Structures are given as structure tokens and as C-alpha cells.
């Protein structure tokens, strides 16, 4: 779920999953035509970091890039996909 938080002036994304308890919140902002979310949460004694970038392309398609890491490791690409309206 994504919502605008006027008090903080950012978008917030609430992520729910089946392999971790509860949900975690990421903060997002626009950089040109890219909506970027980043965040972290504690799981199994370590910190998990997430980064998502959604780009609205001129042809109407949307490209999503997701990266994640655990602990102090650098972010690694976990998903790239493009959605096209038909």
C-alpha cells in the first residue's frame, strides 16, 4: 500500500509479506520520472535493506528495479521487470 504523508512530505509504502512478521514501512520520493522507495527492517537478528525504483517511461510502460541486502552487505539486484499496458 502506498500513501502520501503530508506531515513528513514523503510517500510511505507499507509492505506485507509471508516470510516475515507484520509489515515494514519505506519512505519514497520522486526523482524526475522515478518513484524511489528505500527502507530497512530487523529480521532474524539482522537488518534487511530494501530499495525500489519505479520508472514511468514515455511509451506508457513502467520499469521496476528492486535491490536488497542483509547487514552491511551492499545492495544487490533482486528483480527487474517491465509492465506494459495492453
Domain encompassing residue 40: 2-83
> How high is the pLDDT of residue 42?
82
| pLDDT of amino acid 41 | 83
User: How, if at all, do strands 34-43 and 62-70 pair?
Assistant: unpaired
> Bridge-partner residues for 43, per DSSP?
46
pLDDT of 68 reads: 93
Tens of pLDDT, residue by residue, the chain (86 residues) = 899 999 999 999 888 877 767 788 889 999 999 999 998 888 888 898 989 999 999 999 999 999 999 999 999 999 999 999 88
Number of domains in the chain: 1
> 0.85 exceeded by the pTM?
no
Q: Are 44 and 21 in contact (CB under 8 A)?
A: no
Question: In terms of DSSP bridges, do strands 10-16 and 34-43 run parallel, antiparallel, or are they unpaired?
Answer: unpaired
What one-character-per-residue DSSP string does 32-49 give?
Answer: TTEEEEEEEEEETTEEEE
Q: How many CA atoms lie within 13 A of 71 on its CB side?
A: 5
Amino acid at each position: 500500500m502506498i500513501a502520501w504523508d503530508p506531515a513528513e512530505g514523503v510517500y510511505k509504502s507499507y509492505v506485507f509479506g509471508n516470510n516475515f512478521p507484520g509489515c515494514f514501512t519505506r519512505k519514497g520520493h520522486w526523482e524526475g520520472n522515478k518513484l524511489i522507495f528505500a527502507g530497512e527492517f530487523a529480521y532474524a537478528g539482522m537488518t534487511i535493506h530494501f530499495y525500489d525504483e519505479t520508472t514511468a517511461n514515455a511509451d506508457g510502460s513502467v520499469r521496476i528495479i528492486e535491490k536488497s541486502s542483509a547487514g552491511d552487505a551492499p545492495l544487490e539486484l533482486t528483480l527487474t521487470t517491465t509492465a506494459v499496458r495492453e
